[in-house]
C-alpha cells in the first residue's frame, strides 16, 4: 500500500491551556494562531509537480525530486519561484548554477517553518517584508528544512519562524473544559506535554549558521522606540530589536594577498589579551575608526613594537552590548553595558558594531571583509589572531530569557535539560550549551572550521572549557510505529496539536552533566584535520566547581590551558606571604611540571585522580598559559594599590566581584602621594611582570598592564564602556615612570633568549636553583628568596633572582669559567637603569657606566637586592664584556656548588660530550631534578588559594 505523507488516522480530542503562572506563548493563543498549510494535507498534488513512484519487491516508495525543481510557493517582485533546495550545508549558501540562495535549517521538533525576508528599513521598523512557508513534503529531509530562492533581491536579510509545541501547554484528561479558570475547579488529571520545547510561532529567530547579523548599526545606540507590545511589531525592546542575518551574494570575494597561517610554535608566543573596542575608543587614540577592527589595524605597529606575536580577542562573535542596559544605581548618566561580550548570539558572525562598515551603512558582507582585513594585517606583522569563544552558554539565559535563536529552533537539542525541561546551569549564566549532543558538537566544529578556513583565525581560547567535557542530555523519541499516533491529536479548535511524545534521557549513558573522560566534542576538535594545527587553549574549569587544570583532555598535547595556579602563586610569593610559596613559585617559573609533566596527581586533584587520570602529565611547559592578570579581576597596577575591591561604580553595593584577590596595597589604599609607597608599587609591578615574562610556558599579558592601567580598584568591570576599561594612549606613550619601557624591554628579552622558551621540561642541568649561595636553594615557609640560572649553549645564560622580603639581601653568583655576569635588569633601580638596554632613553655610554658601577659587586661574585626587588644578569664572555668593567682577574668567586665542585659552563659543548656530562653530573649532585619539586599545597585555579585578608602596610 502506498501511504501519502502526513495522513494519520485515529485523532483524539485534547484541550490545550497554559500552565498557571507562565506567560502564554503566542503559538498557544487561539485568537493569534494562524492556520498554516497542513502537513497532513490530503489535497491532490500541485499540477506540474508529479511524484515518481518506484517499486522495490513488495513495496512502493517516493523518489526524491531534484533539488532544483520548484517546490510550489509563488515568487514575487523580490524573488522568483522557490525551489526544493538542498539539505546541506546548513545555513544560507549561494548556488551559482541556479542563481539562488539555499537555506537549510535543522530542527527535529518543529511542525512548520517559514522563511522570513527583510528589507533593512522594514527590519528597523519591526516588520516583515516577505514570508515563504516551507512545505514539509517537499522542503524537508529528515530533520533539516530547506528551500532555495532564486533571483533574490540584493541586500535582503533573513530569519525563520517555527511552529511547534511549548512546555507551558497542558492536557486535561477526560474533560471538555476550555478555560484556565474553569480548570482550577476540576479534579481531572492534568498532564504537561512537550517538556523542554519552547517554540513561538510569532518570533523570528536567527539562523545559527548566519555569517553576518544586522540590527542596530551603532555601538550602544538604542533602536527605534516602537510599540514592542503590539502583535504587529517584531522584536522585544529598543535594547533587543529584531535582528536578521545577511543573505549571501556572489560578490563575496576578498583579496587575502597570499595570506597563510603563521604557525608560530606555541612556546614562542607572547599573547596579548585585547578588547577590540576598548583598544582604540579612548580619545587619546586619535583613531580614524575608533573602537573598530579598522581602528585596531591603525595601532598594530604599537603591538609589534611591544613585542607580542599573538593577540587574543575578547569575544568578537555577535553579542548584544545592551543586554544589561540600564541606568547604574547611584549615577546620573552611567549605564550598564555587556562590555566584555561573554554572551553570544551568533557564533559564525563577527560582532557587527565593532566594524566601521556597520557604522557607515555598509552591508553584512562589508563587516566580514573588515574582520578579514584585520586578520590579514596582523599576519603581515607576524602576529597571530586568537579568539575567545563562549560555547558554554548563550545569550538566551534561563526560562525567563529571550528567544533569539537556539531556544526557538530546538531547545531540547541545543541546551542541557533536566527531564521536565529545566535548564542546567554549569555556566552560572542561566543555561548550559549541550556541547556533546551529536548535532551541537557538529555545530561547534563547523563554527571553528569556518573561522579558521574562511576568516584565517589562528586559534581559540575556550571560556569555561570544562563544560565541553560534560555529558549531554538527549530527547528520545519512540520509534515511528510507536509514535504513529503521537503527533496526530487535535485540540478543541480542530487544529493539529504539536504534542511531542518521548522522554529526556542521559545522552552519554551517564547522568547528564557528568564529566566525561573522552568527551566527543573535544575529541572531534582535537582530531579534526583543520583544527588540530590551531592553537587550542582551555579555561579548564567551570562555575560548578569542576577543575581540570593539568588534566584537561588534551589528546596528545593538542590543548594548552590557562594556568590559574601560576596566577595565584605569583601573587602570593611576590607580596611576601608566609606559606609554601617559594616552592610553588619555583614550580610556576619552570613551567609547572607537577601539572604538565608528572603523571601522578597531587593530593586534592579530584579530576586528575578520577576521570582525568589518563590525561595527567605528558605535556610540555608551553601547555601552561601563564598569566598574573586577565580581563576579570584587578589590573596589574591595582594589585599593588588595593587590598580590597572597590566595585561601587557597578551599582551593586560592592557585592559583586571576587573578594579575595591576593593583592597588597604597599602601605596605603588606592591613590597616594607618598613617594615611598609609589616606589614600592613600581618595584612590585616590575617584579610581577618579570615573573610572567621570565617563566617557562606561554605568557599572556592583559591589555594596558604594560603601562600600568588602573581601574580604580574595580575588579569586575564587565559593565563599563568607559575610560575605566579603555586603553589610555597618552599614559602609554608619555611613560612618566618608565614602567612601559621596562615592560617592553622584558618582552624583547624573552624573544631574544631561547633558554626562556624551552620546548620540553628541563633536567637539573639546564635549570638550576639557588639561594643566597649557589645551588643552596631553600624551600621553607619563611623563604623570601628564589633564584635560578638557565643556560644557553649559544648565548651563555641568565641568572634571575626574586627577593620578596622587606629586607635587602645579597646573593652569591654561580661561577661559570670564562664568563662574567653583567646586570641586565634590576627592578630596584630607577628608570631607565632598571633595564640596561640601549635605546632612546639609555645611551651606550650610560649603560657602560651603570655596569661599571655594579662591577664592585659582580667582580666579587655577588649582587645586592633591595627589598621587594628582582634582578636578571647575563653571562658574557670576558673578552666581550662592556667598557668600564673591572679587570677580569679581579673576579675571584666562590666555587660553583656547595660541595666545592667547579661548574663548567656548557657553551659550545655538544650533547653527550664528556664536558657536558661532567656539567650535568655536577649540577645534578647539588640540585634535585625539577620534576620532583618541593611539596606544595593545592591551589585552586578558579580562585584564590586562601581567604586571608591582607592588611595595609607590610604583608604577613
Cβ neighbours of 207 (radius 10 Å): 25
For this structure, is 388 an active site residue? no
Other Cβ atoms less than 10 A from the Cβ of 196: the count is 25
Per DSSP, what are the bridge partners of residue 515?
470
CA distance 586 to 695: 9
Q: Is the N-terminal amide bond of 832 cis, ω within 30° of 0?
A: yes
Location of C-alpha cell 585555579: 941
Judge contact between 467 and 433, C-beta under 8 A: yes
Closest residue by Cα to residue 421 from 196, 169, 109: 196
- Cell 591595582, located at residue: 638
Q: What whole-number distance in Å separates Cα of residue 429 and Cα of residue 293? A: 28
Place of cell 563599563: 720
Residue 173: active-site member = no
Classify 541 as helix, strand or coil. Answer: strand
Respond yes or no on whether the N-terminal peptide bond of residue 89 is cis (omega within 30° of 0): yes
Q: How far apart are CA 362 and CA 357, in angstroms?
A: 5
Cβ atoms 800, 854 nearer than 8 A: no
Contact 505, 416 (CB under 8 A): no
First-to-final CA distance of the chain: 86
Q: Give the Cα separation of 432 and 153 in Å (integer).
A: 38
Per the structure block, which three cell numbers stand in for 865? 637586592
Rg (CA), the chain: 32
Cα–Cα dist 769/763, whole Å: 12
Helix (H) or strand (E) holding 411: helix 406-414
Angle between helices 438-453 and 406-414 (to 10 degrees): 120
The DSSP letter of residue 167 is T
Antiparallel, parallel or unpaired: β 169-172 and 16-18: antiparallel
**What is the H or E stretch that residue 749 is in?**
helix 739-752
C-alpha cell, 60: 512502493
Write down the number of H helices and E strands in the chain: 20, 35
Spot the catalytic one: 500, 539, 542, 638: 539
Catalytic choice (120, 267, 463, 874): 463
For residue 594, the SS3 value is: helix
Q: Show the cell assigned to 664.
A: 597588597
Do 476 and 419 touch, CB atoms closer than 8 A? no
Integer CA distances (angstroms), 81 to 38, 78, 88, 115, in order? 21, 10, 20, 14
CB 908 within 8 A of CB 791: no
Distance (Å, rounded) from C-alpha 268 to C-alpha 373?
A: 24
Q: In angstroms, rounded to a whole number, what is the distance separating the alpha carbons of residues 82 and 707?
A: 58
Dihedrals phi, psi of 549, to nearest 5 degrees: -60, 130
| Strand partners for 304 | none
Residue 358 three-state SS:
helix
Grouping H, G, I as helix, E, B as strand and the rest as coil, residue 371 is helix
| Most distant CA atoms of the chain, gap in Å | 108
Locate the DSSP E strands across 520-611.
535-538, 559-563
* 667 CB-contact burial (10 Å; exposed 0-12 / middle 13-18 / buried 19+): middle
Positions marked active-site = 463, 539
Amino acid at each position: 500500500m502506498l501511504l501519502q505523507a502526513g495522513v494519520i488516522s485515529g485523532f483524539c480530542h485534547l484541550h490545550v491551556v497554559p500552565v498557571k503562572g507562565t506567560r502564554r506563548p503566542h503559538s498557544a493563543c487561539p485568537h493569534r494562531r494562524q492556520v498554516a498549510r497542513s502537513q497532513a494535507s490530503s489535497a491532490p498534488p500541485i499540477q506540474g509537480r508529479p511524484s515518481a513512484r518506484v517499486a522495490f519487491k513488495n513495496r512502493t516508495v517516493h523518489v526524491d525530486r531534484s533539488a532544483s525543481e520548484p517546490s510550489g510557493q509563488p515568487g514575487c517582485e523580490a524573488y522568483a519561484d522557490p525551489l526544493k533546495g538542498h539539505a546541506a550545508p546548513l545555513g544560507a549558501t549561494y548556488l551559482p548554477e541556479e542563481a539562488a540562495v539555499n537555506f537549510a535549517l535543522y530542527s527535529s521538533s518543529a511542525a512548520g517553518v517559514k522563511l522570513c525576508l527583510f528589507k533593512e528599513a522594514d527590519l528597523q521598523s519591526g516588520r516583515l517584508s516577505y514570508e515563504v512557508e516551507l512545505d514539509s513534503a517537499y522542503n524537508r529531509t529528515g530533520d533539516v528544512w530547506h528551500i532555495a530562492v532564486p533571483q533574490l533581491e540584493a541586500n535582503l536579510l533573513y530569519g525563520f519562524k517555527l511552529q511547534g509545541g511549548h512546555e507551558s501547554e497542558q492536557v486535561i484528561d477526560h474533560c471538555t473544559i476550555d478555560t484556565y479558570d474553569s480548570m482550577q475547579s476540576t479534579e481531572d488529571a492534568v498532564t504537561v506535554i512537550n517538556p523542554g520545547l519552547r517554540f513561538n510561532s510569532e518570533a523570528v529567530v536567527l539562523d545559527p549558521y548566519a555569517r553576518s547579523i544586522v540590527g542596530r548599526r551603532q555601538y550602544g545606540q538604542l533602536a527605534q522606540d516602537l510599540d514592542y507590545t503590539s502583535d504587529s511589531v517584531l522584536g522585544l525592546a529598543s535594547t533587543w530589536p529584531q535582528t536578521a542575518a545577511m543573505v549571501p551574494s556572489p560578490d563575496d570575494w576578498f583579496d587575502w594577498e597570499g595570506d597563510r597561517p603563521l604557525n608560530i610554535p606555541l612556546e614562542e608566543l607572547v599573547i596579548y589579551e585585547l578588547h577590540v573596542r576598548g583598544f582604540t575608543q579612548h580619545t587619546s587614540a586619535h583613531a580614524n575608526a575608533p573602537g573598530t577592527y579598522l581602528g585596531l589595524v591603525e595601532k598594530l605597529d604599537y603591538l609589534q613594537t611591544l613585542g607580542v606575536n599573538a593577540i587574543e580577542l575578547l569575544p568578537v562573535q555577535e553579542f548584544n552590548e545592551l543586554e544589561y542596559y540600564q541606568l547604574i544605581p547611584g549615577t546620573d548618566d552611567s549605564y550598564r553595558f555587556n562590555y566584555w561580550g561573554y554572551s553570544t548570539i551568533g557564533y559564525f558572525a563577527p560582532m557587527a558594531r565593532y566594524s566601521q562598515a556597520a557604522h557607515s551603512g555598509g552591508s553584512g558582507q562589508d563587516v566580514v571583509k573588515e574582520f578579514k582585513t584585520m586578520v590579514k594585517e596582523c599576519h603581515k606583522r607576524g602576529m597571530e589572531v586568537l579568539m575567545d569563544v563562549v560555547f558554554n552558554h548563550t545569550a538566551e539565559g534561563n526560562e525567563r530569557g529571550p528567544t533569539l535563536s537556539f531556544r526557538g529552533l530546538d531547545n531540547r537539542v541545543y541546551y542541557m535539560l533536566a527531564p521536565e525541561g529545566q535548564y542546567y546551569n554549569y555556566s552560572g549564566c542561566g543555561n548550559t550549551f549541550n556541547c556533546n549532543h551529536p548535532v551541537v558538537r557538529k555545530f561547534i566544529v563547523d563554527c571553528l572550521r569556518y573561522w579558521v578556513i574562511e576568516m584565517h583565525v589562528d586559534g581559540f581560547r575556550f571560556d569555561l572549557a570544562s563544560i565541553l567535557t560534560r555529558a549531554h542530555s538527549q530527547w528520545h523519541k519512540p520509534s515511528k510505529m510507536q509514535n504513529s499516533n503521537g503527533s496526530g491529536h487535535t485540540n478543541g479548535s480542530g487544529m493539529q496539536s504539536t504534542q511531542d511524545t518521548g522522554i529526556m534521557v542521559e545522552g552519554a549513558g551517564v547522568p547528564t552533566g557528568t564529566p566525561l573522560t573522552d568527551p566527543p566534542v573535544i575529541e572531534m576538535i582535537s582530531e579534526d584535520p583543520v583544527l588540530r594545527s590551531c592553537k587550542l587553549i582551555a579555561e579548564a574549569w567551570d562555575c560548578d566547581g569542576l577543575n581540570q587544570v593539568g588534566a584537561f583532555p588534551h589528546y596528545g598535547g593538542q590543548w594548552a590551558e590557562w594556568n590559574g595556579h601560576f596566577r595565584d602563586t605569583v601573587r602570593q610569593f611576590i607580596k611576601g606571604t608566609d606559606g609554601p610559596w617559594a616552592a610553588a613559585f619555583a614550580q610556576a617559573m619552570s613551567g609547572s611540571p607537577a601539572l604538565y609533566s608528572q603523571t601522578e596527581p597531587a593530593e586534592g586533584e579530584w579530576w586528575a585522580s578520577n576521570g582525568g587520570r589518563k590525561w595527567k602529565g605528558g605535556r610540555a611547559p608551553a601547555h601552561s598559559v601563564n598569566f598574573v592578570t586577565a580581563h576579570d579581576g584587578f589590573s596589574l597596577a591595582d594589585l599593588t594599590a588595593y587590598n580590597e575591591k572597590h566595585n561601587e561604580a557597578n551599582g551593586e553595593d560592592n557585592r559583586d566581584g571576587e573578594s579575595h584577590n591576593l593583592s597588597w596595597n604597599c602601605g596605603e589604599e588606592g591613590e597616594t602621594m607618598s613617594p615611598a609607597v609609589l616606589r614600592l608599587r613600581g618595584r612590585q609591578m616590575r617584579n610581577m611582570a618579570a615573573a610572567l615574562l621570565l617563566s617557562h610556558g606561554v605568557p599572556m599579558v592583559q591589555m594596558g598592564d604594560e603601562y600600568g592601567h588602573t581601574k580604580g580598584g574595580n575588579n569586575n568591570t564587565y559593565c563599563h564602556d568607559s575610560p575605566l576599561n579603555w586603553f589610555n594612549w597618552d599614559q602609554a606613550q608619555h611613560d612618566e615612570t618608565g614602567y612601559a619601557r621596562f615592560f617592553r624591554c622584558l618582552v624583547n628579552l624573552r624573544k631574544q633568549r631561547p633558554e626562556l622558551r624551552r620546548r620540553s621540561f628541563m633536567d637539573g642541568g639546564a635549570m638550576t636553583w639557588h639561594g643566597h649561595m649557589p645551588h643552596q636553594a631553600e624551600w621553607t615557609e619563611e623563604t623570601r628568596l628564589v633564584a635560578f640560572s638557565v643556560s644557553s649553549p649559544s648565548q651563555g645564560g641568565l641568572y634571575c633572582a626574586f627577593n620578596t622580603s622587606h629586607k635587602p639581601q645579597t646573593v652569591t653568583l654561580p661561577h661559570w669559567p670564562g664568563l662574567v655576569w653583567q646586570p641586565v635588569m634590576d627592578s630596584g633601580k630607577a628608570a631607565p637603569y632598571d633595564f640596561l638596554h640601549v635605546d632612546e632613553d639609555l645611551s651606550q655610554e650610560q649603560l657602560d657606566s651603570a655596569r661599571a658601577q655594579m662591577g664592585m659587586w659582580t667582580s666579587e661574585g655577588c649582587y645586592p637586592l633591595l627589598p621587594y626587588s628582582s634582578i636578571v644578569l647575563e653571562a658574557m664572555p670576558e673578552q666581550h664584556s662592556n667598557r668600564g668593567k673591572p679587570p677580569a682577574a679581579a673576579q675571584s668567586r666562590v666555587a660553583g656548588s656547595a660541595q666545592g665542585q667547579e661548574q663548567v659552563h656548557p657553551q659550545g659543548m655538544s650533547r653527550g660530550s664528556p664536558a657536558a656530562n661532567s656539567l650535568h653530573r655536577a649540577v645534578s649532585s647539588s640540585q634535585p631534578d625539577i620534576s620532583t619539586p618541593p611539596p606544595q599545597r593545592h591551589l585552586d585555579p578558579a580562585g584564590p588559594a586562601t581567604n586571608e585578608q591582607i592588611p595595609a602596610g607590610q604583608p604577613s
